[in-house]
């Protein structure tokens, strides 16, 4: 392969990737949907009331926290503080998430900011229950944006 063929290969490959990304973007705009993976994150029987469990969603580097607030109530949020991305921890006795970096507090009920420097709520992870399994099926972008 000479230099000209290699340059042609690079240009065509870049053009193909650009068109592919453009298609994904247009499809996302038209449907208004983002394709989230469905991923089992825990067994109901593993988590006591007041307990929590860490998992990653939607990607392997997206830490999240699942909490059980009552016998049949579960909620999950991104574990990244919306201030500067420190990991929040669950404080069941105070029904809130606490960020140790700058004392940011979020409601365990809906992820809204209770106190501290964060300006946005914790993004909520959408869950579905299938028997004993809890499955993450999406991220609520409304809470992420508001
Ligand atoms: S990083 Fe959480 S309050 Fe600053």
Predicted confidence (pLDDT) per residue in 56-111, tens digit: 999 999 999 999 999 999 999 999 999 999 999 999 999 999 999 999 999 999 99
* pTM as predicted: 0.76
Q: Is the confidence at residue 27, as pLDDT, over 80?
A: no
Percent of the chain with pLDDT over 70: 89
What percent of the chain stands above pLDDT 90? Answer: 72
Length of the chain: 146
Ligand 1 pocket test, pick from 98, 102, 122 with the greatest ligand atom count within 8 Å of Cβ, gives 102
Q: Which residues line ligand 1 (CB under 6 A)?
A: 81, 83-84, 86, 99, 101-102, 104, 116-118
Asked whether 97 and 105 are in contact (CB, 8 A), the reply is yes
DSSP H helices, the chain, are 3-31, 141-145
Nearest to 86 by CA among 71, 67, 105: 105
User: Residues with Cβ < 8 Å from 55, sequence gap 6 or more?
Assistant: 41, 42, 63, 64, 65, 66, 76, 136
For residue 103, the ligand 1 atom closest to its alpha carbon is: 3
């Amino acid at each position: 392969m000479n230099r000209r063929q290699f340059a042609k290969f690079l240009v065509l490959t870049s053009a193909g990737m650009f068109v592919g990304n453009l298609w994904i973007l247009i499809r996302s705009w038209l449907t208004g949907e983002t394709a989230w993976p469905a991923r089992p994150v825990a067994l109901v029987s593993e988590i006591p009331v007041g307990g929590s469990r860490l998992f990653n969603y939607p990607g392997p580097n997206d830490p999240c926290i699942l909490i059980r607030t009552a016998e049949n109530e579960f909620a999950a949020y991104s574990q990244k503080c919306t201030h500067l991305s420190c990991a929040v921890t669950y404080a069941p006795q105070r029904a809130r998430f606490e960020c140790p970096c700058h004392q940011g507090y979020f409601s365990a009920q809906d992820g809204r900011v209770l106190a501290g420097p964060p300006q946005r709520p914790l993004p909520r992870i959408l869950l579905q229950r299938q028997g004993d399994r809890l499955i993450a099926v999406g991220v609520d972008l409304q809470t992420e944006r508001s």
